[in-house]
Amino acid sequence: MPLTPTGRTRLPRPGPSLAVTLASTLVAALLVLLPGSTTAQAAPVLLSQGRPATASSTEGAGTPASAAVDGDNGTRWSSQFADPQWIQVDLGATARLSQVVLRWETAHARAYRIELSENGTDWTTAYSTSAAPGGVQTLDITGTARHVRVYGTQRATAWGYSLWEFQVYGTTDTGPTLPGGGDLGPNVIVFDPSTPGIQARLDQVFQQQESAQFGSGRYQFLFKPGTYHGLNAQIGFYTAISGLGLSPDDTTINGDVTVDAGWFNGNATQNFWRSAENLALNPVNGTDRWAVSQAAPFRRMHVKGGLNLAPSGYGWASGGYIADSRIDGQVGNYSQQQWYTRDSSIGGWSNGVWNQVFSGTQGAPAQGFPNPPYTTLDTTPISREKPFLYLDGNDYKVFVPAKRVNARGTSWGNGAAPHGSSVPLSQFYVVKPGASAATINRALAQGLHLLFTPGVYHVDRTIEVNRPGTVVLGLGLATIIPDNGVTAMKVGDVDGVRLAGFLIDAGPVNSPSLLEIGPAGTTTDHAADPTTVQDVFIRVGGAGPGRATVGMVVNNHDTIVDHTWIWRADHGDGVGWETNRSDYGFRVNGDDVLATGLFVEHFNKYDVQWNGERGRTIFFQNEKAYDAPNQAAIQNGSIKGYAAYQVAGSVEVHEGWGLGSYCYYNVDPTIRQEHGFQAPVKPGVKFHDLLVVSLGGNGQYEHVINSTGAPTSGTSTVPSTLLSFP
């Protein structure tokens, strides 16, 4: 049995007394019967039961916060034996509150407050007392809120705070019911094989988007199943092209889907924010060109020929991503500095500059790091492909692929039915520019999924995704900008949420984070149905001043982050060491998190902080912040600079494959970076195929990881590599 603070054996606590329970029932009945009873007229609804609850602490595993909102008077939440403590419940949507009922156990609060919040961060007091009697307290409350908290400041006993039930009553302030489905808006351009003027429409959008790196235009091309002839779809910024079949081979283009770098004098290192998906291509000259860098996924594609990843003239290109694709011919990597290919089939691979990583890819080159620079894993330990829009007859649906374990090769092909489930568009709220965060949250509270159409969305409150299995899918790089320093989106402690295909762009007021997956401190196991984050990109600055303390935070266990670019801008508008300040890019607190294709760049301190156990990363690409003004600005105590990728000293098990960090301190080229990677030296912490590079001698690394690995030197841009650590 637990001991009291004085060391005495703690006696079993009494439950709610029968007399109190009967009295409460009688009072409630009389209120209903009495003429003019406000309770009868208001008919408040119990809003809190079964909703997500969190607390400042728990006495033990048997008294979690969720036990106070489960409707069972025999289970309870109890805290540790200290002041202050709190418990809060997320109602899922804004509600007009009327009453809070607290069923205290013997260990009750003498002094406490009832606090209300719309966002879970900023609180106002709706009730307070310093002489609470315990037992069952029914409190009349007025106000509107989504989050309700009991904040205890003084205990009545030597024990902690303990509630059998914490009940919040009111009426949901949801407004009219929102419809699902509907049209996809003017920036979703749909073709079928008989559509006239397809090439002219493709060219029109490309002319607008070719160099619009920080513009507001957003476009999605959708091709209905069938065969299209003689097309060259040139893909510019914020443009996505997709087929509407259930298989890539349902939609064939006899022609090309092209990305080149003519707009930037043949340099492809800024060909960001575009995508190609779910199409079969017969390239005109036998080889398609996809010369991109970050945030430009090539997914679920079938190239019936070769694929060239370099721009015309073989100028620089700086990293990209292929998944669930089949390239019948050879992939020409040429000038690509780094690349990740997952769960695909290729006819061959040529060349490579620094860091080329393959997992689950049939036809991948053999392991060869550092010369040639190939890191090859036979399978991907866990993967689940990105949801995608398709046509079932005349009806739009979203296919949600199933989880794969130890995957190798594509998830489609050979006539096999895809594994997963389909969700009709009628179950999605089709979000269009101008929609408010309140409306988006109302749709989520109604049980709808979200389909963001191409556009830029300002949100003045957090988008809260709290229902298991919710799909949030963006078309045409739909972009969400948080106003007033809010977090743009948070995911609850639930299974199977699917986030895919959108960009979060920091606003001018500092946000504590831009995307949070799960609440801090969660202990829930989500291994059977993890949340996936795919082609979700984070940007701080570039399109204007932006600030955020952390880009993305992953608290939920078992989350899969599959291809993300988290970028503090090094060029564009609103760029400067303090102007677009963002100290941390990617922080992992959850256990068993897997990152496949992790691109994180230019943050003021740590780009990646990994605090959870049993984390794994397959491919990591990083550049340290270019604009550090001097050595002192990046000094980390006695360490010269913050590591690009830090594993916390408390972590026992962690593993990474194919990780690179590059420095280009162009403001002060004399800056020394102690290392690219930092991790505890423990048997369970393992790294394979690491490198650090000084770009043209602008700054130097002294080691690869911790104090291990040769320093970089000179201006020759030659990597310092390490095959394994420890």
| Per-residue pLDDT reduced to its tens digit, 539-575 | 999 999 999 999 999 999 999 999 999 999 999 999 9
Quickly state the pLDDT bin for 26 (edges 50, 70, 90). very low
pLDDT at res. 15: 39
| Beta-sheet pairing, 654-663 with 615-623 | parallel
Task: Collapse the DSSP code of 345 into the 3-class scheme (helix H, G, I; strand E, B; otherwise coil) and give the result.
Answer: strand
| DSSP per-residue codes, 19-58 | HHHHHHHHHHHHHHHSTT-HHHHH--EE--TTS-EEES--
Omega before 225 within 30 of 0, i.e. cis = no
Q: What is the C-alpha separation between 16 and 709, in angstroms, rounded?
A: 64
Q: What is the pLDDT of residues 327-365, one digit of tens each?
A: 999 999 999 999 999 999 999 999 999 999 999 999 999
Measured in whole angstroms, how far is the alpha carbon of residue 377 from the centre of its chain? 25
Bridge pairing between strands 654-663 and 380-384: unpaired
pLDDT tens-digit map of 127-165 = 999 999 999 999 999 888 899 999 999 999 999 999 999
CA atoms within 13 A on the CB side of 718: 8
Does residue 8 have a pLDDT over 70? no
> 10 Å Cβ neighbour count for 270?
20
Beta bridge partner(s), residue 306: 287
Phi, psi of 125, deg, nearest 5: -90, 125
Q: How many CA atoms lie within 13 A of 597 on its CB side?
A: 33
pLDDT score recorded for residue 4: 27
User: Which distant-in-sequence residues (6+ apart) come within 8 Å of 342 by Cβ?
Assistant: 321, 322, 323, 324, 358, 359, 360, 361, 380, 383, 562, 596, 597, 618
Active site residues: 623
Q: What is the mean pLDDT of the chain?
A: 92
Q: Are 624 and 607 in contact (CB under 8 A)?
A: yes
The answer on pLDDT for 193 being more than 90 is: yes
Q: What is the pLDDT of residue 21?
A: 37
pLDDT above 60 (res 1): no
pLDDT tens sequence across 107-125: 999 999 999 998 888 888 9
Percent of the chain residues topping a pLDDT of 70: 94
SS3 category, 13? coil
Rounded Cα distance between 223 and 252, Å, is 9
Confidence of residue 30 (pLDDT cuts 50, 70, 90): very low
Is residue 118 within 8 A of residue 173, CB to CB? The reply is no
* Position 14 pLDDT exceeds 50: no
User: What's the pTM value of the predicted model, to 2 decimals?
Assistant: 0.82
pLDDT of amino acid 119: 84
Question: Which residues, in sequence order, are CB contacts of 684 under 8 Å at separation 6+?
Answer: 652, 653, 654
Q: What is the pLDDT of residue 95?
A: 87
β pairing state of 471-482 and 498-505: parallel
State residue 107's pLDDT score. 96
Residue 174 pLDDT: 55
Mean pLDDT in residue range 315-328: 95
